[in-house]
Amino acid sequence: MNMYTPGNGIHAEVGDQIVVGSPTVGTPGRDGEVIALHHADGTPPYDVRWSDSGRTTVFFPGPDAHVRHLHEAPAPPTRPRRPYEAGRTG
């Protein structure tokens, strides 16, 4: 695990998604997967495989970039249903 502290700038881990806004109105932004880190603490730059081209580049995020931490939202634990709840939904 890395030593990132919230509020210290952009942070990513391998498997996260980088999303970059479009530089002009009417053109799409870009997104890609972080496939390697250059620093153990998760700070830039990152090796990113871009979804639109499949190419891998070294990426230094600008102000229009953000990270989607895809691994941070585990599914909530589910409890087994009791027999009397079999017909219920929700």
Q: What is the mean pLDDT of the chain?
A: 81
| pLDDT beyond 60 at 75 | no
pLDDT at position 23: 81
Global pTM exceeds 0.75: no
Tokens 């989607």 found at: 68
At residue 48, what are phi and psi to the nearest 5 degrees?
-120, 130
Cβ proximity of 31 and 51 under 8 Å? yes
pLDDT at position 37: 96
pLDDT band at residue 27 under the 50/70/90 scheme: confident
22: which DSSP letter?
-
